[in-house]
Structure 1
Amino acid sequence: MGVTPDNLIQGPATLYRGAFGATEPADSSAALNAAPAASAWSDIGGTTDGVKLAIENTYAELEVDQLVDRVGSRLTKRAATVETNMAEVTLANLAYSLNGGTTATGSGYETYEPDAADSATQPNYSAVLFDGWAPQSLRRRVIVRKVLSVESVELAYTKDKQTVLAVKLAAHYVSPAIKPYKIIDGKA
């Protein structure tokens, strides 16, 4: 099998956040080559170390006494996550990385305060969309429809390193008709 160089991809992605249930862009070449509607999706700004979609499948093994080989496997769990480092350490991005909270502005300042939710309160789910490259130098769009930031958030200020907000967004079940994520590639 030969290598098709046009199938190799490299380059950054642009990350957008939206509300859970935000209107998704159309599945079309024109939509893939345009930013999603600003009324539903907000660009989070610069990132460092890229944007990563990770999908982890867990399988249970099926076995029988009469055979030494695995007879089959069944999918028992799927965990999809989106990970990045937000380089623009704004209070809006901090609120997003902490699944909500309140930002307010005054004359010459802005504040952030976390939500005062208890463990019985439904968390503030959101959606995430990122645009990157697909094979053939076309565009790829990934939409993860229901996410929640699930890792610790740190604001590290050091002499010789850039401050970033590391975020890991875990995908969640939506409904029988709506899958947790969708990937759309442009086609030549």
Structure 2
Amino acid sequence: MSVTTTNLIQGPATLYSGAFGATEPADTAINTTPASSAWTDLGGTQDGVKLGVDQTYGELEVDQITLRVGSRLTKQDFTIETSLAEATLENLSLTLNGGTSASGAGFKSFDPNVTSSATQPNYFAVIMDGYAPNQLRRRVIGRRMLNTDSAELAYTKDKQTLIPAKFAGHYVSGSVTPFHIVDQTA
């Protein structure tokens, strides 16, 4: 077996958030930071950033053949998951899918969104910038995301406070895919 060592990847990723529908960086701008006017750097993370794609297939079978004769995709989920190391109110607001923020002389505050379950949630977009083979860049853009996991702020004497986040992707439209991946090439 031949191994191409330049295809091995190791290193951190940077996360950005933006409004749902924010102008995405062009594929040709893979090696540049997303525009700060549309995208906010979420700061440090701990234990990495993970892209997960879960696919469920239904089996096709017939009486005459003992093996599965085919499969059809019946469900697909994708997530971008991390622990946000900067326990800011802005990051907490993102993991709670919005709310109301205020600030004044010497303070800032946050109140969570407690509207009816019939209200449309506050979808947002996420960019994950990391490495691709050959120490080049890889960008994953999640276009319509929500944090679907529990949010917590744990304060302990011997551990850093983190905000866990599991951003789940959602359907956008028949012509716009829910996520886009682009690799820089040499």
In which range does the TM-score fall when normalised by the shorter chain? over 0.9
Matched, 1:51 2:41: no
Q: Structure 2 residue aligned with 1:155, among 149, 153, 156?
A: 153
Deviation at 1:117, TM superposition (A): 1.0
2:69 alignment counterpart: 71
Q: Structure 1 residue aligned with 2:106, among 94, 108, 111?
A: 108
Cα RMSD of the aligned pairs, angstroms, is 0.6
Partners of 2:150 and 2:15 in 1: CA distance: 20
- State the identity as a percent: 62
Q: Structure 2 residue aligned with 1:38, among 13, 36, 39?
A: 36
Q: Structure 2 residue aligned with 1:89, among 77, 87, 90?
A: 87
Deviation at 1:116, TM superposition (A): 2.8
Give unpaired runs (5+ residues) of structure 1: none
More strand by share: 2
The structure 1 segments of at least 4 consecutive aligned residues displaced by more than 3 Å after TM superposition are none
Deviations 1:87-126 (A, max 9, x none): 0000000000000011111211111101131011000000
Partners of 1:72 and 1:116 in 2: CA distance: 45
Scaled by the length of structure 1, what TM-score is found? 0.98
> Which letter maps to 1:68?
T
Deviation at 1:11, TM superposition (A): 0.2
Give unpaired runs (5+ residues) of structure 2: none
Scaled by the length of structure 2, what TM-score is found? 0.99
> Which letter maps to 1:48?
Q
> Which letter maps to 1:112?
F
Deviation at 1:130, TM superposition (A): 1.1
Partners of 2:184 and 2:106 in 1: CA distance: 44
